[in-house]
Amino acid sequence: MKKLLPFSAEQVKSWTGQYPTPFYVYDEQGIRKTVDDVYKAFAWNPGFREYFAVKATPTPAILRVMESMNCGADCSSIPEILLAKGSGISGQRIMFTSNETSALEYQTAREAGAIINLDDLTQVENLENACGIPETVCCRYNPGQFNYATNAIMGHMYDTKFGMKKEQLFSALKMLKDKGSKRFGLHAMLASCSLEQGYYPALARELFGLVLEIRETLGITLSFVDMAGGIGIPYRPEETPINIIEAGEGVRKAYEEMLTPNGIELAIYTEMGRFITGPHGYLLTHVVGKKHIWKEYVGVDASPADLMRPAMYGAYHHISVAGKDNQPAAETVDVVGALCENNDKFAVDRPLPHTEIGDVLVIHDTGAHGHAMGYNYNGRLRCAEYLLGTDGELRMIRRAQTVQDYFATLDVDSEFNW
């Protein structure tokens, strides 16, 4: 499918004329449409809720959009809890799914009234010591083996650090029940960036099977099943997007076959990040150099400090040359930034229309795990974020970092004079 932009070349020109590049633009209308589709897909389940994964786009303006659409927030750190609360998402609309959790983190989650999702059997005791056992708790499952779990980011489940083995899961639930918990949930995330249409339905079957077994052996009827995130997006033009309505129907089928006849009613939760905002974010960057050595290079003013995924995972991000979308590919280039590291490549051997210094490149599908993964290596400052509102106006939602921000954590003496 041709990768389209929700804004025109004239808009890009006007924005990049006013604001220093690089910067991110998020398309609010696109995000709202996707959230809407998710709620339509699970409308058959009365308790359904999408807990947006805050780590994907930890930005209040985006979280407020989620809040306005009845979403919760999936958090894993104290700052993420504070971001959710500050954006109007509180209490059990916060899911706290953490790993190797500190006592302070448990206390903060408990004070926020969040649902605490335990990653390991040993965490039951840690939780109790930190803040006592809450009435509602969730446990995270790792089956070791799962058909849809093979992919580059997450790998095989037996190789992943998340969740508990089945016997441990059962022990944890029993301990939590004995210690006074009353409402229980089951959580599993067995893929990352999966474009398998059958992933959610297969995961639902796996988890619903456990729901039945847990009721039989422990006498606990679970209140919710959290299928987490992991739904992919078509980064490449030739890839097919997930049909979320169909996926939701697949989960409904499993629910009606496995749970309804057994008199079980429970809420389905999801924690998608990438699927919700990924396709609706764009990184705009100027071409600042053209270099012809052993290969052809297009230099840009963005770097992995702004968008790490290509450097970290070799991830593909589609690139448009603003205003030249209809021109044929004229050169095969590596698109590189300013870091002193050779993995600083947004694209390798990419056919692009002819580019000139001053052109603007639009890097697609950067709305999740993009700006959020930014870092300051090489003294690169992190760039600004803008929201293209449903009113068509572009509004800054995070300013660019300044040198003062970068130096703010240094303990310097009065001799240090920059």
Q: Applying CB under 6 A, which residues contact ligand PLP? A: 53, 55-56, 74, 97, 189, 192, 228-231, 271-275, 368
* Shortest distance in whole angstroms from residue 55 CB to ligand PLP: 6
- Nearer residue to ligand PLP within complex by CB, 16 or 270: 270
Which residue lies nearer to ligand PLP by CB, 375 or 407?
A: 375
Give the nearest distance from C-beta 316 to ligand PLP in angstroms: 16
**Nearer Cβ to ligand PLP (105/271):** 271
Nearer Cβ to ligand PLP (15/141): 141
Q: Shortest approach of ligand PLP to residue 153 CB, angstroms?
A: 8
CB-closest chain residue to ligand PLP = 229
Closer residue to ligand PLP, CB minimum distance, 228 or 383: 228
How near is the Cβ of 251 to ligand PLP at its closest, in Å? 16
Which lies closer to ligand PLP via its Cβ, residue 116 or residue 361?
116
Decide whether 230 or 299 has the Cβ nearer to ligand PLP.
Answer: 230
Give the shortest CB-179-to-ligand PLP separation in angstroms: 24
Q: How far is the CB of 48 from ligand PLP (least distance, A)?
A: 16
CB of 97 to ligand PLP, least distance (A): 4
Q: Which is nearer to ligand PLP, 156 or 295 (CB)?
A: 156
Cβ–Cβ < 8 Å for 86, 76: no
Q: How far is CA 122 from CA 94, 118, 126, 139, 217, in A?
A: 22, 9, 7, 12, 21
Query: Which residue, 53 or 335, is less far from ligand PLP as judged by CB?
Result: 53
Type of residue at 212: L
Say how far apart CA 3 and CA 23 lie, in whole Å. Answer: 20
The smaller minimum CB distance to ligand PLP, of residues 258 and 372, is found at: 372
3-state DSSP of the chain: CCCCCCCCHHHHHHHHHHCCCCEEEEEHHHHHHHHHHHHHHCCCCCCCEEEEEHHHCCCHHHHHHHHHCCCEEEECCHHHHHHHHHCCCCHHHEEEECCCCCHHHHHHHHHCCCEEEECCCCHHHHHHHHHCCCCEEEEEECCCCCCCCCCCCCCCHHHCCCCECHHHHHHHHHHHHHCCCCEEEEECCCCCCECCCCHHHHHHHHHHHHHHHHHHHHCCCCCEEECCCCECCCCCCCCCCCCHHHHHHHHHHHHHHHCHHHCCCCEEEECCCHHHHHHHEEEEEEEEEEEECCCEEEEECCCCCCCCHHHHHCCCCCEEECCCCCCCCCEEEEEECCCCCCCCEEEEEEEECCCCCCCEEEECCCCCCCHHHCCCHHHCCCCEEEEECCCCCEEEEECCCCHHHHHCCCCCCCCCCC
Nearest distance from residue 366's CB to ligand PLP, in Å? 13
In the complex, the smallest distance separating the C-beta of residue 163 from ligand PLP, rounded to whole angstroms, is 10
Q: How far is the CB of 240 from ligand PLP (least distance, A)?
A: 17
The nearer residue to ligand PLP, 9 or 372, going by C-beta atoms, is 372
CB of 270 vs ligand PLP, minimal distance in Å = 8
Measure CA of the first residue to CA of the last residue in the chain; give whole Å. 51
User: Could you give the maximum distance between any two Cα atoms of the chain, in Å?
Assistant: 75
Distances (CA, A) of 8 to 16, 21, 54, 285, 323: 12, 17, 29, 15, 8
